[in-house]
Structure 1
Amino acid sequence: MNRQAQAAVLFLLGAALLHAGATDLYLRYVKAGLRPLLLASGAVLIAAALATAWYERRRHRRSGIHEHPEPRVAWLLLLPLLALILIAPPALGSYSALRSGTALQKPYAYGPLPAGDPVPLSVVDYASRAAYGHGRSLHGRPVRVTGFLALDRSGTAYLVRMALNCCAADAQPVKIALTGALPPVLRPDAWLEVTGTYTPRLTRDPVNNGPVPYLKVTSARPVPAPRDPYDETWNN
C-alpha cells in the first residue's frame, strides 16, 4: 500500500474514532472517562493523514515520480474500519456473565447511602455492602437496583452489571442472586429495575468461588438498556 493509500486509511481511522467519541458508540468499547483521549487520538490521526497526503503530493510534483498501483486486496484493510463506523457491537450480556467469575472486590470503606426511599444503588454497591458489609450499612432500608438478567442452568436468576477497568475487553460481571417476588417470565439479557431488601443469604460463584449476595425482591419492572451499559463504580 503506497503513502497515499496509507494516508487514506489513517484518515478513515481518525474519522471512525471521532465518530465513536462524538456519539455513545464509544461506550461499547471503553469507559466514559477515556472519551477526551479518544477524540484527541482521532484528531491527531486525521492531522497526520492530511500532512502525509500533502507531503506526498508535493514530493511527486517536484520529482515527477509515478508509483505503480498496489494490489487491490490491500484495500480489504478498510473493512474493519467500516465495521467500526457502520456496525455498533452489542454490549456484553448474560452469555459472558455466566462464563466469568464475579469481579466483586472488598471496598476500603463505604460511603453514606444516597437519599431516597427506596435507596438507588448500583449492582456493585449493593453487592459489596451485602457480601462484605453484611448489610449493616443498609439499615433495613429498601433498595432499587438496575441490571440485566442472567439465568444459570439451575434456573437461578441473577441481576448483573459488567464492570469495566479500562475497556470492554477486560469487562467482568458483578452478580446479585434474586429471590422473592420475581416476574413470572424471566428473559436473559432483559434489563430490570428491581426493588427489594437485604437478605443475609449468600452463595458462591461456580466459576471463581467469589461471593454472590442475594436480594429479596419485592417488585420488578422492565426498563430500557441504559446509555452506558457498563458499571465503572467498582474501581473508583
Structure 2
Amino acid sequence: FRAYRIFKRFYPISFSTWKEQLKIGVPIGFSIFFEVSIFAAVTLLMSTYTTETIAAHQAAINFASLLYMIPLSISMALTIAIGFEVGGRRLQDAKQYSYMGIVFAVLMALLSALCLILFNDTVASWYTSNQEVFDLIKVFLIYAIFFQLSDAVAAPIQGALRGYKDVNVTLVMSLISYWVIGLPSGFLLAKYTAFGPYGYWVGLSAGLFVAAITLFLRLRHVQRVGRII
C-alpha cells in the first residue's frame, strides 16, 4: 500500500459528517432493536409455561429466524440499490426497485410457507426426539407462517425507506407496531384466551402485520412526494 501514501496527510475529524451518519444510523439501530427485542421479551414471558413449551418455542423461533434471513437480505440490498438511485435523482428507478424487492420477498415467503406446511414433521424432527416437544413445534411453525408473510412485506419496505433516508418515522412505527400493539395483544391473548402460549405468536403476527401496512403507506407517501433527504 506504499504507493497510495496513506499516511502522507492526516485529515481533521469532520463532526458534520459524524452528525449526518448518526442522524441516519441511530434511528435505524433503535428500529432494529425494537423488532429484535420483542422476540427476547416473548421468550422471557414464555418462562411461565412448561419446559417442553419453552423448548418448542425456541426451536420454532430458531427456524423462523433462519427463514427471515431471506427478506432481511433483500432489505439490505434494497437500501443500497435505492440509495444509489435516489442519489442519482433517478426516482422512478428507485420506485421500481422497491416494488421488485417486495414482490420477490413475498414470493419467497410463500415458498417458505409451502415448505413449512409440507415438511412440518421433518423440520420439527431436526430439533427433538421428544414427542411432546415435537408436537408443539409443529403447531408453532404453522403460526410462524403468518408472521413470515408479514415480515416479507415489512422488511423490504424498511430497507427501501432507509435508501430514501426516511428513518425517523419508521422508528416510531416500529415502536408502536411491536411494543404498543404486538406485545400487549400477545400477552392478553396468552393470559386471557384459549390460545395459551400461541397467543404470543398471534400478537407477534399482529404487530408485524400493522408494521407492514403502516410502512407500506409511508413508502407510498415518500415516493408520491418525491422526497429526498
TM bracket, shorter-chain basis: under 0.3
TM-score, normalized by length of structure 2?
A: 0.24
Bigger Cα Rg: 1
Query: Which structure has the highest helix share of the two?
Result: 2
Query: Which structure has the highest strand share of the two?
Result: 1
TM-score, normalized by length of structure 1?
A: 0.24
